[in-house]
């Protein structure tokens, strides 16, 4: 099994970096509009034709053109009911072509999840005065809040502090090694926690009277686990919509694999934007954990 993982680390194509960031380079983002010109998404994730996006209101779009930092999307044809899809997405692990044998999951009593950060240097400008900090950025604190919230809900969680800098195209190769090590714990789910680059308003929301940064789930289209990853993401979004309306920004399906080819329940979360605050992000990740705790996997 370890040998197979090593081969994967060497041979799997790298996913593109989520956002171009340099020492003196301002963050950039792409604005996606529908066919009527209405903005449906602003994100620092590279956007390509044929990428897909499920909005906060569960409208499923397909990107049909990209020009610079502007993109156009159309509503996907033959949309099925979002709620019906997520309700039927049971037995995620048992029905997947997982890299780890199915009998390895759960390995005992309760659930176990692992958290890491491909872009471990990410920060929130309003909190730290910088969008990135070499070593451990603000995003590590978000991961800690995530771990603590999961554990309070009865799920054991391991939060990796591994650094994967610099913030370049090879960050996913470096974090892939971390994922391989974490998979030895046979977790129920694997979460890569980031923050997006976009205007604060595009992620800002109010939940229970408190301002927080919204959360977007990112799925890689270039991985054999895409459908299982997506089914899990839909279940989480549906539960979050029920418990904390407004929390979820949506689900983006982009070019690349984001190391999600390694596991059927591997997800990437964008928690707020660089223009959010660390406090907003910590509050939102606790709300997200509240939903995850209530989502069955098997």
Question: Is 15 part of a structural domain of the chain?
Answer: no
Question: Is 289 part of a structural domain of the chain?
Answer: yes
Q: Residue 261 gets which letter from DSSP?
A: G
Cα 145 to Cα 269: distance, rounded to the nearest angstrom: 14
Question: Is 58 part of a structural domain of the chain?
Answer: no
Question: Is 168 part of a structural domain of the chain?
Answer: yes
Question: Is 182 part of a structural domain of the chain?
Answer: yes
Question: Is 91 part of a structural domain of the chain?
Answer: yes
Q: Directed axis angle between helix 2-11 and helix 171-183, to 10°?
A: 170
What pLDDT shows up at residue 77? 81
Domains contained in the chain, number: 1
Please provide the distance, in angstroms rounded to a whole number, between the alpha carbons at the two ends of the chain.
23
Provide the residue range defining the domain that includes 215. 82-293
SS3 of residue 210 by DSSP? strand
CATH, residue 132: 3.40.630.40
Its pTM stands at: 0.85
What is the spatial order of strands in the sheet that 112-116 belongs to? 39-43, 30-33, 70-75, 60-67, 52-55, 248-254, 215-220, 266-273, 189-196, 112-116, 156-159
What pLDDT shows up at residue 93? 57
Cα angle 248, 97, 233 (rounded to 5 degrees) comes to: 5
How far, in whole angstroms, is CA 283 from its chain's centroid? 16
Question: Is 10 part of a structural domain of the chain?
Answer: no
Question: Is 8 part of a structural domain of the chain?
Answer: no
How far from 253 is each of 72, 132, 248, CA to CA, in Å?
A: 15, 25, 15
CB 146 within 8 A of CB 120: no
What pLDDT shows up at residue 134? 87
What pLDDT shows up at residue 110? 86
Q: What are the tokens at 132?
A: 């990135």
Q: What are the tokens at 76?
A: 């996907």
Question: What pLDDT tens digit does each residue of the chain (298 aa) get?
Answer: 333 333 343 334 344 444 444 444 455 899 999 999 999 999 999 999 999 999 999 999 999 999 999 999 999 987 665 655 554 445 565 554 443 333 233 333 489 999 999 999 999 999 999 999 988 899 999 999 999 999 999 999 999 999 998 888 899 999 999 999 999 999 999 999 999 999 999 999 998 899 999 999 999 999 999 999 999 999 999 999 999 999 999 999 999 999 999 999 999 999 999 999 999 999 999 999 999 999 998 7
């Amino acid at each position: 099994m370890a040998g197979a993982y090593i081969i994967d680390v060497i041979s799997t194509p790298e996913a593109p970096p989520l956002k171009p960031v340099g020492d003196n380079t301002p963050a950039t983002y792409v604005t996606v509009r529908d066919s009527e010109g209405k903005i449906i998404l602003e994100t620092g994730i590279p956007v390509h034709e044929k990428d897909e996006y499920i909005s906060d209101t569960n409208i499923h779009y397909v990107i049909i053109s990209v020009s610079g930092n502007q993109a156009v999307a159309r509503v996907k044809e033959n949309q099925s009911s979002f709620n019906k899809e997520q309700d039927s997405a049971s037995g995620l692990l048992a029905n997947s072509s997982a890299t780890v044998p199915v009998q390895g999951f759960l390995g005992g009593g309760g659930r176990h999840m692992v958290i890491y950060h491909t872009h471990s240097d990410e920060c929130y400008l309003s909190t730290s005065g910088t969008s990135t900090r070499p070593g451990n950025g603000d995003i590590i604190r978000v991961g800690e809040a995530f771990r603590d919230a999961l554990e309070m809900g009865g799920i054991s969680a391991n939060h990796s502090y591994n650094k994967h800098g610099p913030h370049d195209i090879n960050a996913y190769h470096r974090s892939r090694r971390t994922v391989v090590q974490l998979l030895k714990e046979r977790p129920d789910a694997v979460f890569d926690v980031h923050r997006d680059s976009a205007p604060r308003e595009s992620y800002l929301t109010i939940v229970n009277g408190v301002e927080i940064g919204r959360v977007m789930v990112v799925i890689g289209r270039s991985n054999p686990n895409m459908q299982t990853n997506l089914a899990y993401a839909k279940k989480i979004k549906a539960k979050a919509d029920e418990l904390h309306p407004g929390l979820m920004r949506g689900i983006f399906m982009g070019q690349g694999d984001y190391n999600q080819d390694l596991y059927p329940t591997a997800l990437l979360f964008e928690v707020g934007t660089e223009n959010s605050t660390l406090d907003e992000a910590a509050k939102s990740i606790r709300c997200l954990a509240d939903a995850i705790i209530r989502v069955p996997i098997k």
